[in-house]
Amino acid sequence: MASLLPLGSPAPADGALPASAFDGAADRAFGLYVHIPFCAVRCGYCDFNTYTAAELGGGGARDQYAAAVLQELAVARTVLAAAGQPARALSSVFFGGGTPTLLPASDLALILRTAVGLWGIDTDAEVSTEANPDSVTRESLAALAEAGFTRVSFGMQSAVPHVLKVLERTHSPASVPRAVRWAREAGLAVSVDLIYGTPGESVEDWRTSLRTALELNPDHISAYSLIIEDGTKLARHIRRGIVPPIDEDDHAEKYVVADEMFRQAGLDWYEVSNWSRSRKQQCRHNLAYWKGSDWWGAGPGAHSHVGGVRWWNVKHPSAYATALHEGRSPAAGREVLDGDARYVEDIMLRARLREGIPLERLRPAGIQALPELCADALVETASSSGTAVVLTDRGRLLADAVVRRLLPD
C-alpha cells in the first residue's frame, strides 16, 4: 500500500488559495510537478503513491489519465489567477511517479503542451521525466525531446542482478546503457538514480554499480540510501528474517565510496544525495523544492506549495478523476505554514545544499550553535556568494544531527 496522506485541514472544494500566498511571489520560481501513478510492478521497497494494473482494477484507467490531468491544469489556472498570481512562466516541469513513461509519449507531450499554453515557459526551462530503463524506446525518447523535454532521469538503482532482485526491479543491467544511448541520440540530458544499502549488497557490489553508472558518462547522478518504509514488502521480509536488516554504518561507508568515485569522475555534490558535472546540470526543479519556491503538483497524491500554503490531492486515480469530473478540486487537505514552520523547513532543506544556509537566515539559536559545530568539523563558513554555513564532508554524513543543533528546542 502507498503511504498515508498527511493530516491537515480540509481543502476548499474549489481549491481557492488566500491572496497572502502570493506575497513576494514575483521573486520566487514557479514550477509544475505531474505525478504519473502507474507502475508495471510494485517494487518491494516502494511506498510511493503508485498502482499496478491489478491494483487499479477498473478504476483510474491509464488511457484516460492524461484527460484528467488536463482538467486539473485548468483548475490550477483558475485558482492561481483568482488568487492574484503575478505573471510567472514555468521555470521547470517534472514528470514523476510511478513510471511516467508507461504513458504514451503523446500523452506526456499533450500535458506539457497544455501547461505551456496556460502559463508559458522560460526559454531555458528544465523539463524532466523519470523513466525505467525498460519503459522507453528510441522512438519514445525522440518524441519527448521533440515535444520539449530536456532531461530524463533513469531509475538504474543497481547494476548487480542479485541486488535488483531484492529490490524487485524489472529491468536488466543491460537495458540501462541502451536507454541512455537512445536518450543521448535524442539530445536529452541524462541523470541516473542509484540506491545503496540494499540487504545483501556488499561494498564491492556497490562499487560495481558505481563504476557501471559512471561508464555511462551521465550529466547527473542521484544516490539514495535505502529506507525501509513500514507496510512495504521489503519491511515484512526483514521482519521475518528473509533478508538481513540494513546497517547505518554500511550506508555511511557506501556514501563515502560514492562521493570519492563521483569526484574522481568530475561530478561534484550540490545536495547531499545529488551530484552533477556542472551547475547547469543540477536538477533545477528539485532545487526549487529545497529553496522553498512555488509549484503546483498535479495528479493523485501530488503535493503543491505556494507561498506557505501546502496541499495534497486525493490518492486514488479513480477518486481523483471523479472529483475533477464533478467540477471539484481534487485536493484532499491542506495546511498554512506559520513563520516558525517555514523557518524550520527552510533550515532543514538549505542545510543539505552545497551553497549552504545564508548566515542572515539563522535565528539566534542557530548562530549560537555554530562555534561548536565548527569545532566538531561538521560545518564551515563559505563566502562564494555571501557568507553561508555549509556542511563539511563529515557533516554530510550527520546532516540530520546538524540541523537539530541549528534549530531551537
Q: What's the residue count for the chain?
A: 409
Residues contacting 322, CB < 8 A, separation 6+: none
CA–CA distances in Å: residue 192 to residues 104, 155, 163, 274, 317? 21, 6, 16, 10, 28
pLDDT at 25: 94
| Phi-psi label, residue 9: left if phi above 0, alpha if psi -120 to 50, beta otherwise | beta
Question: Is the pTM here over 0.85, yes or no?
Answer: yes
pLDDT at 371: 94
Return the closest-CA partner of residue 80 out of 132, 28, 148, 141: 28
What grid cell was written down for 232? 512495504
Domains of the chain: 19-290 (3.80.30.20), 338-409 (1.10.10)
Residue for grid cell 531555458? 124
User: By the 8 A CB rule, do 83 and 125 touch?
Assistant: no
Query: Mean pLDDT for each consecutive 10-residue tract of the chain (409 residues)?
Result: 66 92 94 94 68 65 92 97 93 96 97 98 97 96 98 97 89 93 98 95 97 98 85 72 80 97 98 97 97 97 96 95 95 94 96 95 94 96 75 96 91
CA–CA distances in Å: residue 167 to residues 30, 133, 152, 161, 365? 34, 15, 22, 10, 42
Q: CA quadruple 298, 302, 304, 310: dihedral positive or negative? A: positive
Determine the Cα–Cα distance for residues 239 and 92; give it in Å rounded to an integer: 41
User: Strands 151-157 and 121-131: what pairing?
Assistant: parallel
Helices and strands (H and E) in the chain: how many: 15, 15
pLDDT at 1: 38
pLDDT at 386: 56
